[in-house]
Structure 1
């Protein structure tokens, strides 16, 4: 083997060694949370919460959900004071009492299993087709729970401050509107709203105190593509359905980054000055290198850092500093590979 061939082989081996499978055989895993003892919780969209410990997968809890389209059991978050305050939060689509809606549910952690504690936020719009349910939940540095919601293909809901659809919400761990929310006290407006004008936001991440979100652009109703990463400001209007992509309209917040040709994103994670965005149809993990400029940020470059595993939905920074991802090849839109779906560990 020549020196060049040997060098390329070593590089290929190094790249492969940077990715390892944590577990496989999951069904549409949607969100991850890391427990203090090294275990993980993961939601599966059909309605299961799994406990992953020592390479083994156990059922933590099964919940009734309306699992159709993009709906079902979605987001997952631990209380900021976990395990002293032993609560786990999930986002689900449910049909109960003849009412179809999305809601945030609180679970009580009992070691190797969880039990339902109570609903903390109800009445988030859902639709029979199951599309555009949003579903990402995460606690911010301020101790409040942020919730992304979709407009369920009723586009005007995104601009309607009386609706919880097409928004990013901010609530307390008990489900109340967080203090200092931008629309508290405004007649006719839901006090839980933090930002609005969103189509189908799928990700939340904080870096250096800033909040970033990933969002799906139109898929035919107002063109195609224009998937986004946004810097979220309190009270900001992100334009849907009035504008798409970089509108340069002072009434709306322009995206931080846009994929004009389409890159429907799952979650995103902030690590060492970069955002890592999981791609669904794009089937890749993309790194956006950021530069802070004035009161905002600029993307210096975008590059694919991981591909070959199909659709990627979740990405989280683990307690060991690695990135943990989930594939979403069994969600009805991907090509199922042997061992799917998986949790992957990646060292960027």
Structure 2
């Protein structure tokens, strides 16, 4: 459980008295590199662990829901999960994983939900690039307001894949729940282009969130801090067919051929997921080890970041952030991913009220 010192350290950064989060609770502990959450209608939730397990959490207790074969190296393994938008009428859970059998690659698979267990049903999309180092695999999946499945993919340190429309690497993809290219995709019918591509020029996108009023898509992305000594991790407003510049530009390039980020961190803040909650855009930080709140002003198609504040810190690396059906904000630590300092009880799912 969280120590009193840890709870107080977190609460001191929560912005009390401003109508935002007022309490920090622990939902479950003892996980191994939790990557994504999916909330069930019965009040429980599923959490993926990068080594290949999906846990079912109810009442603070985690049990094994499914175990998938994965290639767990570097940043690869079992990553994002998402429930079918018509769940439980359509009883499916989708997952993004790295596999080695038959050739190393990333893929989206679908599991059949059977109450307390999930059973692998079929592969939805195959052939997303992966490399033995396991880096830049992307991995976030989420269903949008349009009922389509969005998938973030990395360029696996092969930069030009991000600009190559014939590759699934370095992209945001848009699929039907059955895995077909979604109707209205910007490159449908274009010779030499993958019809699944929704946007491109991405380095390693890690988060997806839709504005609750306008329905616009926002994404978080890792910049080249480890390669060139600077950061430029980004938050982008995603437009269909948009080219976000990697590797041609880093940060705000001012080149009309490429879309500049809505916000970037010049010194680096490799982000996990992001979520809209209580009027702000919340971003989980891995190396930055904090949960930030971005205050947006403007309006549809014309947003800017007016203010950035630290909401939560002192708990190490944070990866997932997601709004639960109870209205709370859920955050996961990622201190057992090989890059963090392991704390007692890690890794955890935390609940902000």
Question: Of the candidates 38, 42, 54, which is equivalent to residue 43 of structure 2?
Answer: 38
CA distance in 1, matches of 2:67, 2:300: 47
Contact 2:13–2:310 at 8 Å: present in 1 too? no
**Post-superposition shift, 1:294?**
5.7
Q: What secondary structure sits across from 1:325 in the alignment?
A: strand
State the TM-score, normalized to the length of structure 2: 0.93
CA RMSD in angstroms comes to 1.7
Q: 1:241 maps to what in 2?
A: 247
Which structure has more strand as a fraction of its residues? 1
User: Using CA pairs below 8 Å that are at least 6 residues apart, which structure has the higher relative contact order?
Assistant: 2
CA distance in 1, matches of 2:13, 2:311: 15
Question: Of the candidates 297, 320, 327, which is equivalent to residue 321 of structure 1?
Answer: 327
Q: Does 1:22 align with 2:27?
A: yes
Q: 2:317 maps to what in 1?
A: 311
**Post-superposition shift, 1:223?**
4.3
CA distance in 2, matches of 1:245, 1:131: 21
Q: Does 1:79 align with 2:89?
A: no
Q: Does 1:136 align with 2:136?
A: no
Q: What secondary structure sits across from 2:303 in the alignment?
A: strand
Aligned residues: 338
Q: 1:4 maps to what in 2?
A: none
Question: Of the candidates 69, 74, 81, which is equivalent to residue 74 of structure 2?
Answer: 69
Q: What secondary structure sits across from 2:249 in the alignment?
A: coil
Q: Does 1:49 align with 2:54?
A: yes
Contact 2:136–2:154 at 8 Å: present in 1 too? yes
CA distance in 2, matches of 1:84, 1:328: 33
CA distance in 1, matches of 2:56, 2:279: 31
Q: What secondary structure sits across from 2:298 in the alignment?
A: strand
Change (3 A) 1:182 1:12: closer
Q: What secondary structure sits across from 1:309 in the alignment?
A: coil
**Post-superposition shift, 1:163?**
0.1
**Post-superposition shift, 1:52?**
0.2
- Show the 5 A alignment for 1:233-312: 233-293=239-299, 295-312=301-318
State the TM-score, normalized to the length of structure 1: 0.94
Superposed CA deviations along residues 254-311 of structure 1, whole A, max 9, x for unmatched, are 0000000000000000123311000000000000011134622111100001111100
Q: What secondary structure sits across from 1:156 in the alignment?
A: helix
CA distance in 2, matches of 1:145, 1:215: 18
